[in-house]
Amino acid sequence: MTLTVQFYTMLSMAAMGIWLGASLDTYKLFVNREKTAKWLLAIHDLLFWMVQGLLFFYVLLLTNEGEFRLYIFLAVALGFSMYQALMKQLYLKILKFIMMCVYQTVLFLKRLVMSIVFQPIRWMITLVISAILFLLHSLLRLVRFTFRLVWKVLSIVCYPLIWLLNVTIIHRIPEKWLTSMRLFFSKGAGILQGAKKLSGTIKTKWKQFWTK
């Protein structure tokens, strides 16, 4: 091995030492060791060091055909020490700045997509649901109005007949039958009232969901 090859090998291994320090800081910044499961953390560590080992061997293979010498480890330690002493703080600041820029860009793109694509769809769905709820509410009010109107008309038209039946027949109907008839009509009124409350509840919940 010539002196030139040895010199290039030392430079490349020192550079790989700097690379190792930067890779370790990047890895620590992206992996939260406290919140990550131990088995998953072990897999991450194993993959990280396997990739680093392959990169070191590949660079060494390019520079001196993969021959190991003691000065190789010294050059790696020198590069790693240079990074820790001179480059670490600057590298972390640059890395955090890049991460913040990427995060802000992704957040901006997300808001842009929401405004251009999803917001019109949201408005259309809200409009359709509001129209359906309005029609259901109007139909319910129409049914109630028609029922009350028919009931009043029948009450007026059939008053003589009701009076006659009350005099001749209704007094003779057993009290149990009369109670059952009253319960039937009260249940019908309760169903209409419950439908009105359900319509109002659905409308309120829907507005709350889309205004969040």
| pLDDT tens-digit series, residues 125-165 | 888 888 888 888 888 888 888 888 887 777 777 666 666 66
In the predicted model, is pLDDT for residue 189 greater than 80? Answer: no
What separation in angstroms does the CA of 17 have from each of 20, 79, 80?
Answer: 5, 4, 4
What residue ranges do the domains of the chain occupy?
3-115, 117-210
End-to-end CA distance of the chain: 70
Residues 6+ apart with CB under 8 A from 23: 48, 52
Residue 184 token pair: 């039937």
pTM greater than 0.75 (yes/no): no
User: DSSP letter at 169?
Assistant: T
Q: How far, in Å, are 10, 67, 128, 204 from residue 211 at the CA level?
A: 63, 67, 16, 11
